[in-house]
Amino acid sequence: MIEFNTEPKKYKHWSLEINPPVAILKLRVKEDGGIKPGYKLKMNSYDLGVDIELHDVVQRLRFEHPEVRSVIITSSLERVFCSGANITMLGLSSHEHKVNFCKFTNETRNAIEDATKYSDQIYITAINGVAAGGGYELALSTEYIILVDDNSSAISLPEVPLLAVLPGTGGLTRVVDKRNVRRDYADYFCTLTEGIRGQRTVNWNLVDQLVSRSKFEETVQKKALDYAKKSKRPKNEKGIKLTPLKRNIYKDRILYENIVVEFDRKKRIVNITIKAPSENLPSGTKGILELGAKFWTLAMARELDDLIMHLSFNEPELGTWVIRTRGDADKILELDQTLINLRDNWLVREIVLNLKRVFKRLDLVSRSLMVLIEPGSCFTGTLLELVLAADRSYMLEGNFEDCDNLPAMLRPTEMNFGSLPMCNDLTRLQTRFLNNPEKVKNIEEQVGKNLDAVKADKLGLVTFIPDDIDWQDEVRISIEERASFSPDALTGMEASLRFAGPETLETKIFGRLTAWQNWIFQRPNAVGEEGALKLYGTGKKSTYDKKRV
């Protein structure tokens, strides 16, 4: 089982130095520290385990260290920054692991960009040696790139000529869309195995600054301090500790403090129930700070994030996720109002930004998402986003026979109207009602109000509203039918339908690159017996099928 829960004292590959207002994150990959056996992580190459640690430390810097205003990413190895994803690991991995690996690393790099843009915790990269493939892609996710000028250090994206695959972590898109490198220069760069060094890297805008080795460390530190001076992060606030999640994993269920998960392996279904808080809730920043990682919105989001990652990598055959909620909807309303009222506070802002990233990960998951809205549900505000993220939703009209609960209700809050955008930079409501702002406005007029099934249906918030007589059969048939379809076709269909509207850097990376990588990772030119990934390091030359398709 791949474990995503970690903390700095468990890191094998990264070290963190905090010298406020700057933090230095150094990569020194432990060669025999791979997440699976069978390969050595030489030359600061990485596997999923390296990126799990990077994901964790990016989160911790935002929550635990408000005093950190800029972050330097560099390497502890001499003349090697990072040689990218470990090729032997890719050659040995299953298809689904390779694709999930690319998706996870993309999400981690997006989190670095998110921290820079929204938390004013600005990342810069100090490339002190060779940066190849995913190593250069890591640098591309940061705000500023400094390359050492020593006649040997170079940057490259060699996947096409060397491995018959693509740069898997957004490299192609970030080079032309983010760095604004000319297409012809990018074409040359991405077909050059040995990469580019020296002044040409600056002239082509592949890096921002070239510095001699003798002045490298001093220049990097000065740049980090310059960015720190511009940052608006608080200077005298105390961070919160991201304590380990409490989680018990059994054969057919997982229990968190706020989420209950049950597997129906025969039907290939995961039943996920999110519980609203039952205790009294803080309404001020002092109370939220005292609760820290136990504050419900943050705790639930961290659990959901862990669950999404766990299911994606460890339960690939459970393709349909059925989501429910339980508890007091008034508590969710109260929490949402607190988040809105205190949104200028640094910690509240980080909690909302984290929730945004977790819901984005849910949007991107290669699983069918079905939401059931039943009596006793609490799909209010923050949790209403789950309904809007679902591929299909069912809301009971009325009540079940002999049920004492109030009928199912939905309730929008201010959180649904801008705080939690998708990868396309639109809210889920704007995406649902693309180019129809009047329908979004109609729902916004219902903020704070309970909406029964008929009203929710009329407003366009749910897919179907069966009554008690039809509920069981209609829901069962829908879920069973979904599980009978081809997982490949469903993945393609869902990904195509979920992101209507404008393209952004993120939607290009996930919508285009992930789809291409998914296809290319199955082609004989890459993974066949004479494919580039299989023969890498053997000295043998790959034999390609030359047909274009």
95-149 pLDDT per residue, tens: 999 999 999 999 999 999 999 999 999 999 999 999 999 999 999 999 999 999 9
Express each pLDDT in 69-89 by its tens digit.
999 999 999 999 999 999 999
Q: What is the DSSP letter of 37?
A: S
β-bridge mates for residue 130, sequence order: 80
Residues 25, 26, 31, 32, CA torsion sign? negative
DSSP secondary structure of 488-503 = HHHHHHHHHHH--S--
d(CA 525, CA 521): 9
Q: Phi/psi of residue 483, each to 5°?
A: -70, -15
Question: Max Cα separation, the chain?
Answer: 79
Express each pLDDT in 253-304 by its tens digit.
999 999 999 999 999 999 999 999 988 889 899 999 999 999 999 999 999 9
Query: What is the mean pLDDT of the segment spanning 149-173?
Result: 93
Residues 99, 104, 105, 110, CA torsion sign? positive
d(CA 399, CA 170): 48
In the predicted model, what is the mean pLDDT of the chain? 95
d(CA 207, CA 220): 13
Q: What is the DSSP letter of 406?
A: P
pLDDT at 192: 96
Domain 247-486 in CATH 3.90.226.10? The answer is yes
The CA distances from residue 401 to 396, 451, 457, 470, 475, in Å, are 12, 21, 22, 12, 17
197, 207 contact by CB (below 8 A): no
339, 348 contact by CB (below 8 A): yes
28, 75 contact by CB (below 8 A): yes
pTM here? 0.96
Number of H helices, E strands in the chain: 23, 20
The CA distances from residue 451 to 75, 379, 395, 396, 474, in Å, are 54, 11, 11, 12, 22
Q: What is the DSSP letter of 414?
A: G
Q: Which among 323, 291, 329 is positioned nearest to 304, based on CA atoms?
A: 323
The CATH 3.90.226.10 portion of the chain extends over 8-230, 247-486
Q: Is the pLDDT of residue 514 over 80?
A: no
Instruction: Write the CATH number of the domain with boundaries 8-230.
Output: 3.90.226.10
Kindly indicate the confidence band of residue 512, based on its pLDDT and cuts at 50, 70 and 90.
confident
Q: Tell me: cis bond preceding 316? Omega within 30 of 0 counts.
A: no
